[in-house]
Amino acid sequence: MKKLFALSVLALVTLTGANAADFPIKDKPVTIVVPFAAGGPTDRVARDLAEAMRKPLGTTVVVENVAGAGGTIGANKVAKAPQDGHTIFLHHIGMATSPALYRKLPYNTLEDFEYLGMVNDVPMTLIGRPTLPANNYKELATWIEQNKGKINLGNAGLGAASHLCGLMFQSALKVDMTTVPYKGTAPAMNDLMGGQIDLLCDQTTNTTGQIEGKTVKAFAVTTAKRLTTPALKDLPTLQESGLKGFEVTIWHGLYAPKGTPADVTTQINKALKAALKDPEFIKKQQALGAVVVTDKRSDPAEHKKFVAAEIAKWGPVIQAAGVYAD
């Protein structure tokens, strides 16, 4: 009888995933899934976060890139992953834009994940190939006007931040560009530097170094105010450049598959909060123009509320643009 009881307790624990006593499982790393290519901005945030969460979690934290379809392939994989806390997911604003962009999203953004908290806010920059014959936003606007129908704009697929930013840029200018999708903005950046594409809108966590090294041309930031990061502080905002009301800021959040036990998600959230206070992590993020979350959005419930508000905010913008995938 005793044995039967022990067995059923074991079965229950196995069925419901892990509990705090099992987490982290000895010698098993926690994997942060990144839904974009290695070497890009989301990957960069994930690798710095993995380093900062290692100590508070008490285990190795590794990054796995599951790229494609604007982040939805990685999201779907995590939605269906084991609920033991060892597979978690770092995503950005695409978490909130993909429900409007994909008619058949294979997961439910608000129902199929445990929300673990928000990580940071990241501005975006509008950048161009180094050979582009424009040296500031005004010259770029003229060049775009003169080259209508011939301009290539890279992005990381439908649902990526670069896609949203590019969509808003085209609609603000009332100019259609040929969009070139990649599995992340790391490969898009390579093609931009090589001159295969003309323009890209990407997070400062990917573009700061390139702007500093002058391997790309930088034209503007997408935030309402200019940035203070040394390499970016002289860039005008798109608003002051004449695109009234243009504002996109990207955020990153952390998620686990739905059903991951509450005591495990609490432990991960604690480790996230410790990382958000880690001076080394804060310094690395600041150098790349990102702002680490210090308010209650790092609480799971607040982050979920925030994502629901973002879905409500971006849905109509995307529907008005008439862009979607079947």
Q: Which is nearer to ligand ASP, 35 or 257 (CB)?
A: 35
- In the bound complex, what is the minimum distance in angstroms from residue 32's beta carbon to ligand ASP? 13
For ligand ASP, the binding residues in 155-174 under the rule CB under 6 A are: 155-156, 160-162
Strand, coil or helix: what is 195?
coil
Q: Which is nearer to ligand ASP, 92 or 297 (CB)?
A: 92
CA distances from 250 to 69, 92, 122, 222 (A): 18, 7, 5, 10
Q: Which is nearer to ligand ASP, 30 or 158 (CB)?
A: 158
Distance CA 179, CA 176 (A): 9
- In the bound complex, what is the minimum distance in angstroms from residue 127's beta carbon to ligand ASP? 12
Instruction: Please return the burial class of 279, using the count of CB atoms within 10 Å of its CB with bins 0-12, 13-18 and 19+.
Output: exposed
Residue 285 within binding range of ligand ASP, rule CB under 6 A: no
Q: Which is nearer to ligand ASP, 109 or 162 (CB)?
A: 162
Q: State residue 255 phi and psi, 5-degree precision.
A: -140, 160
Residue 203 within binding range of ligand ASP, rule CB under 6 A: yes
Bridge partners, residue 140, by sequence: none
Distance CA 234, CA 62 (A): 36
Residue 37 within binding range of ligand ASP, rule CB under 6 A: yes
Interface segment toward ligand ASP; rule CB under 6 A; list 142-150, 178-186, 233-241, 264-272 = 178-186
Interface segment toward ligand ASP; rule CB under 6 A; list 34-42, 172-180, 224-232, 260-268 = 34-42
DSSP string of 15-76, one letter each residue: HH---GGG-SPTT-PEEEEESS-TTSHHHHHHHHHHHHHHHHHTS-EEEEE---GGGHHHHH
For ligand ASP, the binding residues in 139-158 under the rule CB under 6 A are: 155-156
| Amino acid present at 311 | I
**Cis before 24? omega within 30:** yes
Site string for ligand ASP, 65-94 (x = CB under 6 A): ---------------------------x-x
Residue 241 within binding range of ligand ASP, rule CB under 6 A: no
Interface segment toward ligand ASP; rule CB under 6 A; list 23-31, 180-188, 240-248, 310-318 = 180-188
Q: Which is nearer to ligand ASP, 13 or 317 (CB)?
A: 317
Residue 40 within binding range of ligand ASP, rule CB under 6 A: yes
Distance CA 31, CA 87 (A): 5
- In the bound complex, what is the minimum distance in angstroms from residue 220's beta carbon to ligand ASP? 17
Residue 36 within binding range of ligand ASP, rule CB under 6 A: yes
Of the candidates 32, 39, 107, the residue with the CA atom closest to the CA atom of residue 69: 107
- Determine the size of the site formed for ligand ASP (CB under 6 A): 18
In which element (H, E) is residue 153 found?
A: strand 152-155
Distance CA 29, CA 61 (A): 5
Interface segment toward ligand ASP; rule CB under 6 A; list 41-49, 131-139, 221-229, 295-303 = 41-49
Of the candidates 22, 73, 27, 53, the residue with the CA atom closest to the CA atom of residue 260: 22
Q: Which is nearer to ligand ASP, 252 or 267 (CB)?
A: 252
**Contacts with ligand ASP, residue ranges (CB under 6 A):** 36-37, 40-43, 92, 94, 155-156, 160-162, 184-186, 202-203
